[in-house]
Amino acid sequence: MARKVKKAKRSSVPVAAVDVGSNSIKMTVARRRRGALEVLAEESETVRLGAGLETSKALAPDRIDSALATLLCFAEIARQHCATHLVGVATEATRAATNGEAFLAQAREETGWSLRVISGDEEAALTFRGLGATRDTSGTILVADIGGGSTELIAAESGAVVLNRSIPLGSGRLTDRLVPQDPPDPADIEACRDAAARQLGAIPFPAAAPDELILLGGTAEALAKFVPDPDRITLADLEGALCRLMAEPAAQVAIATGIPEARARVLPAGVAIMQAMVELRQPANVSLAASGIRTGLILAALDQAATASADPCETLRVLIADLWDEVEETLPMAIAGEDPEGVHQMRVASRRLRAAMDIAAPCFPNKWYRPLHKTAKQVTRSAGAVRDRDVLLQFLKSERKKKLTPEMRSAIDYWAAELSVEREAAREEMLAFLTDFQERDIPAEARRRFAAQGKAGGKSAKKSSCKDRDKAEPSLIDPKQSWAANARRVLKPQIGGLFAFGDAIADPEAVEAHHQARITAKRLRYTLELFADAYGEPGELALDTLKEIQESLGQIHDTDVRIALLATEITQLAEQEDPDPAVRTGLDQLEERYRRARLRDHGALVRTWQRDSAEFEEELHVLIGAEADDAATS
């Protein structure tokens, strides 16, 4: 069965990444949220760590001191954003310096950053991965990350890298060698352009000109101040930028544009490199992008977050806090009531929150955790009656457009009017609950409880769960085990729960069993999404299959809700003194119509189950490290 793999959406603990370059030190703090990378903070400081490296071959003491002070400051900012994982790389200046390793050892000891030198090829690979998180990398593209001491070049076709090079060509390096004056002399800039052209000309680029040249790095970020459209840059734009940069000293440029003076000093050489690149490769378009190596570092760190060392309670603390925020974000639209989708979004957000809280109890103190868990369930329930009637009213609206008997149309009109009254009553109950919910400021209470670091899994959490791992309830998190181990542990009983419905799924009369199977499938889906990083691509494949099964179960459930509510309407109509015979006939006809529809839906479910269940069970057991046959006999 051909399936499209989609990334599951979940949030993550923030990660801070720092890039120690030749010109500047930059930091990004980000987390994965709702399937995308959410940037929490970005910092940049121009320290010119590589200044004088061409002649001295070593990092200057005053530049090292400046770099260490910057790293200490950035570490404090990262921790303010709850980032406990501080990763970083040093590039060309540290790579080439005779005292580069000594600088890194001092930085690790004094600042808390996990720093390492990376090769030019790894720098280019991380840069491309980071770019792919925010930009379309399809088609034929060329990426140039122009730093102070080196330039990373990546040529790609349809998202696949075909060339990856790092060359010792950077704005700081060229400035130190060829631009002694400030402002620069035109002849010096021409010398920079010629030097860049010689080095770039030796690169075995693909024969065809690229569709897009994407410029990254500090040079590209600074250039954005000088061009009218960063998404469409021409050679004339680059020439205009150089004219401005050669017209006044770096200090004046810094005042006029807001870029650091040290960056303004090396920018002319960086723009000269860009000119040489555009003239050599003749791209169809040139653009600037902020993404780069730090984004790649963060993505790599987030991928490793589900390794054996990951703390499950700390991970859940961050996730649950984020899920409470998502519930709060849905409230205004649900309360306004102008769009039925608002109630639906609130219900889904609360279900995802419940799925996390259902398994996390051993990590947190019962005294405050149980009331919040109960409230999360109440949010879901408050939306249930409203949402069921919204779905049915939308269905009846579409039904009325079909070819129906006059009696059926009369019945639909009567039923829709009754449902609208019921919906308003259910909505009043929901609004009463949500008003109390907001007056008690439950989201703020949840933020306070789940925001404090170091509280998860403490002494005040459930003692029984930490006492004996073998006695810990299998459906709950075991704080003694890793995030990855818990991903397998929690999933196992849920797999057994779903496949226990195998016989009932084949029975068209097993209405309640079908409903319970749907609930079980939904819980399993939320578990797969919650532990998405731990399960990796096999989990994505299993999730894709589960969505198809869940859709079939959902169709049957919607029909069952229609039949049950219709039966109530028929009973109530019969109790009236003078019921409309046309409406009664139409209701009977609709009931028969929906019972036939249920048989069709059930047949589709059985076919889907027979087609996918064996493969699906295999996919799930891969996730828990067990063979399907072993699980079936255990």
Model confidence at 115, in pLDDT bands (50, 70, 90)? confident
pLDDT at residue 622, as a whole number: 83
pLDDT in tens, 267-280: 999 999 999 999 99
Q: What percent of the chain is predicted at pLDDT more than 90?
A: 41
Residues 6 or more apart from 281 whose CB is under 8 A from it?
142, 205, 209, 210, 213
Q: 295: burial class by Cβ within 10 Å (0-12, 13-18, 19+)?
A: buried
The letter for the amino acid at 560 is D
Give the number of other Cβ atoms within 10 Å of residue 263's Cβ: 25
Average pLDDT over residues 511-536: 87
Q: Which of 166-175, 471-480, 564-573, 609-618 has the lowest mean pLDDT?
A: 471-480
- Two tokens at 264? 């303004």
Query: How is domain 315-449 classified at the architecture level of CATH?
Result: Alpha solenoid (1.40)
The CATH number of 481-626 is which of 3.90.1300.10, 3.40.1260.10, 1.10.10.60, 1.40.20.10? 1.40.20.10
15-118, CATH topology level: Nucleotidyltransferase; domain 5 (3.30.420)
3-state SS of the chain: helix, strand, coil percent to 5? 65, 10, 25
What sign has the CA pseudo-torsion 433, 434, 439, 440? positive
Can you read off the two tokens belonging to residue 43? 């910092």
Sheet with strand 24-33: strands edge to edge: 36-46, 24-33, 15-20, 85-90, 114-117
From CA 46, how far away is CA 43, in angstroms rounded? 10
Report, as an integer, the average pLDDT of 431-456: 83
> Cis ω on the peptide bond leading into residue 184 (within 30° of 0)?
no
Angstrom distance (rounded) from CA 319 to CA 325: 10
Q: What is the pLDDT of residues 6-58, one digit of tens each?
A: 333 445 678 888 988 887 888 989 887 655 778 888 888 888 888 887 788 88
DSSP one-letter code for 365: B
Q: Which residue has the tokens 């004088």?
A: 52
Summarize pLDDT for 461-488 with one digit per residue, the tens. Answer: 443 333 333 344 667 888 888 888 888 8
Q: Which residues contact 45 (CB under 8 A, 6 or more apart)?
A: 24, 25, 26, 70, 73, 74, 260
Asked if pLDDT for residue 197 goes beyond 60, the answer is yes
Tokens of 260: 């650091």
What is the structure's pLDDT at 466? Answer: 32
Angle between helices 366-399 and 442-451 (to 10 degrees): 130
Class of domain 135-290: alpha beta
- Report H helices in 283-399: 293-303, 312-336, 341-360, 366-399
pLDDT tens digits, 583-614: 999 999 999 999 999 999 999 889 988 888 88
pLDDT at residue 342 above 90? Answer: yes
CA–CA distance, 433 with 442 (Å, rounded to integer): 12
Band (632; pLDDT cuts 50, 70, 90): very low
One-letter amino acid identity for 567?
Answer: A
φ and ψ at residue 8, rounded to 5 degrees: -75, 155
Q: What is the DSSP letter of 158?
A: T
Place of tokens 């779903």: 498
Mean pLDDT, range 298-319, rounded to an integer: 73
Average pLDDT value over all residues in the chain = 85
Choose among 624, 606, 599, 633: nearest CA to 502. 606
CB-based burial label for 590 (10 Å; 0-12, 13-18, 19+): buried
Residue 633: per-residue pLDDT:
34
Could you tell me what percent of the chain has a pLDDT over 70?
91
Token look-up 């009553």 returns: 425
Neighbour tally for 54: CB within 10 Å? 16
Q: What is the rounded distance in angstroms from the CA atom of residue 412 to the CA atom of residue 363?
A: 50
User: 180 — phi, psi (to 5°)?
Assistant: -75, -20
| 474-503 as b/e: b if 16+ CB within 10 A | ebbbbbbbbbbbbbbbbbbebbebbbebee
Collapse the DSSP code of 117 into the 3-class scheme (helix H, G, I; strand E, B; otherwise coil) and give the result: strand
Backbone dihedral region for residue 312 (phi beyond 0: left; psi -120 to 50: alpha; all else: beta): alpha
Using the structure block, give the residue that is written with the tokens 């959406």: 9
pLDDT in tens, 80-98: 887 877 888 887 778 888 9
Domain ranges of the chain: 15-118, 135-290, 315-449, 481-626
Mean pLDDT over residues 327-342, rounded? Answer: 92
**Is there a shared CATH topology between the 135-290 domain and the 481-626 domain?**
no
Q: Quickly state the pLDDT bin for 459 (edges 50, 70, 90).
A: very low
pTM, two decimal places: 0.60
